[in-house]
A and B are shown apart, each in its own frame.
Chain A
Amino acid sequence: MPPCAPASAGRRHPAAWLTRLTTRPASQRAPATPSHDRWYEIARTTSFRLAIVFACFFAGSSLLLFAFIYWRATVFETNRIDALITEDARTLASEDQDAILALINTHVTGDFHRVGYAALFAPNGSRIAGNLEGVPPGLPIDGKVHVVRAARIDLPAMGAIDVRLTARRTASGNVLVIGRNGQYMVILREVVVHALTMGAIPAMGLALAAGMFLAWRTQQRLKEVHRAAERIMGGEVHERLPIAGMSPRDELDRLSLLFNGILDETERLLGEIKATGDEIAHDLRTPLTRVRARLERTLKGDMGPEETRETVGKAIGGLDQALAIITALLRIRELENSKRQRGFTTLDPAEVILLIEELYQPIAETKDIAFAIDITPVPPMFADRDLLMEAVGNLVDNALKFTLPGGRVTLALGPREGDGATVIRVADSGPGIAAHERDLVFSRFYRSDRTRHLEGTGLGLSLVAAIARLHGMAPRVGDNNPGCVVELVAEGTSIVRPPAGGIGGD
């Protein structure tokens, strides 16, 4: 290790750069302080608002209920009283004079509630007995109940009020008036209002209190969620939102679970980026360290000019290798981010295959590898010619690199049996790819241990995968017994897709 190589730079806080990636400066962040710390903020919570609405609704329905009870009770009571006085009047009227007088007295004196009215008048209107001054004006003598204003002479303070009265002639021709005032209604109203205050108002208070409690509880949970979210934003990527854990899960828990799922996925992706980052660092450090050693050796100056030139040339080669890695990484990122297909045209993939064969045949010859192409006509493809060439070139490049002299590499184009999907297939007789590694080869920097010693950026297949995806093609790795087969399958979607906005247009 050269003395000034950063031996453990970035090792101490492996996640530090992730934090930088994921955390914006505090000034740019949305106001992070939760505004639910003050008591009156409870009034803003959804639960509390619901409680208020509920209490109002409850109050309204209680009022309606009581009004209905009051109304029905009034009607019932009025009918009962009317029947009572009609019956009283009818019974009294049929008695003789003495009995009538005695009964009127009983009626008046026994009236502790001061509700009764009873009087007997001579046919000329003069009072014979009872607590009314005279026959109230407007009261027909028909034996039916009427509401008339009348005053009791024994209770002048009460004054003339509306009274339910009935008048009837007795057998002797006198006029009998019997009735009751509305005092019973007052009592009834008092009962109802009392019931309302004793029952409904405490119930409303309870509803509000429950609402506030629920609001407070929800707020506490939200505060926890908020704190957890802040910690996550602060870079603690392992942090998760709290789950109250009640069963069945409430909506807040379900939401938290959903977000935790998103966080799991994000953390996994960040981990992948981090792993890639580590690999980039490692893959770059190797050539750069070599370059450094070579330049250091040159600096000592004890080499002849030819050796110096050669050493510097190798150093430049090492730098080129490092640059190639960076360039490939940038290209992959560009391709992965690119949703556009501006360079796409309708082309015959066979052209690309022929050109690749022309380009790579000399290498195969030099390495004593039999390189053959096999083209079965396929329908035109909607593709970017340069990118398709790059992808196929990379596959062939790889195949030639891993195949030993005397081996063979085949580049084939043709429709797939069954559905006729266009398949570009590169098969070699190299070491092959173990089944458990087949999914990994398209990820960045993956290199089988058996091929680790060979030169390359380790990014070729990731590049191929990115290009394939951009073309709606699926990259697949299989076994060639011996060797490996890599296929790019255009599964229907990308075959002559009509360009949306004109090919190559700006």
Chain B
Amino acid sequence: MDIDTFDDQGWSPVTSKAHILLIEDDRETADEIIRDLADRGYMISHADNGRVGLERACEGKYDLLILDRMLPEVDGLSIISQLRAEDVRVPVLFLSALNDVDERVRGLKAGGDDYLTKPFVLSELSARVEALLRRPAEPRTTRLRVGPLELDLISREANRDGRPVELLPREFKLLEYLMRHPAQVITRAMLLEDVWNYRFSPQTNLVDVHIGKLRRKVDAPGDFPMIYNIRNVGFVLREPQ
């Protein structure tokens, strides 16, 4: 890998003051999630059944909900439907042991913002949590800017410090996604899902190759690198430091 590599732990999210409600009945899973997210600086509340979870979610003081699909008393789908019915707009990340395309579609249809199938790697969860907590870039914007890097969404041109960066359409797409999520850890699965709508992990190091090619164009020799590899997790694009 010709990309500068960091360890996951060395990366502290910018969104760490956020307050997250975790509704999960499995004690062990909940402990793991709580410990990992607390280490990353988040405040976590935990409810271990659907009824309590729904009551607390309705208080409206949380920035994000992590919601298990199968819960005692009130299940995840009902919780999200009721929340959306009462106009609680908090982002929701679904967790489910059901690795079924249908289930995913259902979860997202009911009002979920992202969907993660158990078992998952904790770094995947935290990357998605961060992505959900970030405010999305102004959707009507026509120019994206991260440090010296600029992307014109109309003319579909990119430049760094005024120097044009020639991009293939697929590279443009990838860079646009990264620039909409600056200084954020993006996992391979997130890239595949969001950039190519590809929901399954390929056997080859597909994403790494794409990022490698993009990085060679964005980070020219002599430049401070902007695209980093986070070991075993994914990638991040940030201002050169």
Chain A residues with a Cβ under 8 A of chain B: 309, 313, 316-317, 320, 323-324, 327, 330-331, 334, 340, 342-343, 355, 358-363, 365-366, 384-387, 389-390, 393-394, 397, 400-401, 455-457, 460, 504, 506
B162 located at the interface, meaning its Cβ lies under 8 Å from any Cβ of chain A in the complex: no
A335 to B169, CA, bound (A): 33
**Known A-B contacts A393-B200, A401-B204; A387 and B101 likewise in contact (beta carbons under 8 Å):** yes
Contact, CB under 8 Å: A363 / B209: yes
With A342-B105, A387-B101 known to touch, is A393 a contact of B232 (CB < 8 Å)?
Answer: no
Q: Size class of B's contact patch? A: 20 to 34
> In the complex, what's the smallest C-beta–C-beta distance from A155 to chain B, in angstroms?
105
B61 CB-CB contact with A under 8 Å:
no
Q: With a CB–CB cut-off of 8 A, which chain B residues contact A401? A: 203-204
Nearest-neighbour CB distance to chain A for B149, whole angstroms, equals 20
Given known A-B contacts A361-B170, A362-B209, A343 and B204 have beta carbons under 8 A apart: no
Interface presence of B137 (CB below 8 A): no
- What residue in chain A is nearest B171 (Cβ atoms)? A362
Listed in ascending order, the chain B residues whose CB lies under 8 Å from chain A are 7, 99-102, 105-106, 109, 119, 169-170, 196-204, 206, 209-210, 212-213, 231-232
In the complex the two chains form, is A457's CB within 8 Å of B203's CB? yes
With a cutoff of 8 Å between Cβ atoms, the chain A residues found around residue B101 in the complex are 342-343, 384, 386-387
6 additional A-B residue pairs with CB within 8 Å, beyond A343-B102, A361-B170 = A320-B232, A327-B201, A342-B102, A358-B196, A362-B209, A457-B203
> Which residue on chain B has the smallest CB distance to residue A456?
B203
Interface residues of A, dominant DSSP: helix
Is there contact, CB below 8 Å, between A340 and B102? yes
Known: A313-B231, A343-B102. A360 touches B206 (CB 8 A): yes
Closest to A398 in B: B203
Among residues of A, the one whose C-beta sits closest to the C-beta of B98 is A334
Cβ-defined partner of A309 (8 Å) among B7, B203, B204, B206: B7
The answer to whether residues A363 and B196 also contact, given A313-B231, A334-B100 and a CB cut-off of 8 A, is no
Known contacts A361-B170, A390-B199: A397-B204 contact under CB 8 Å: yes
Query: In the complex, which residues of chain B have a beta carbon less than 8 angstroms from the beta carbon of A506?
Result: 106, 109
- Given known pairs A324-B203, A400-B204, A401-B204, the reply for A355 and B196 (CB within 8 Å) is yes
Once the chains are docked, how many angstroms separate the CA of A284 from the CA of B119? 17
Chain B residues within 8 Å of A313, by CB: 231-232
Which B residue's beta carbon lies closest to that of A357?
B170
Instruction: Tell me if B232 and A359 are in contact (CB < 8 A).
Output: no
Q: Which residues of A contact B209 (CB under 8 A)?
A: 362-363, 366
In contact, A359 and B7 (Cβ under 8 angstroms)? no
Count chain B CB atoms within 10 A of each CB in A386, A397, A457 and give the residue with the most: A386
Give the residue among A313, A317, A363 with the most B Cβ atoms within 10 A: A363
- Closest-by-CB residue of A relative to B170 is A358
The answer to whether B197 and A355 have CB atoms under 8 Å apart is yes
Is there contact, CB below 8 Å, between A455 and B106? no
Contact A363 B203 (CB under 8 A): no
Point out the residues of chain A lying under 8 angstroms from B105, CB to CB.
342-343, 504
Pick the 3 closest A-B CB pairs, nearest first: A362-B209, A358-B170, A390-B200
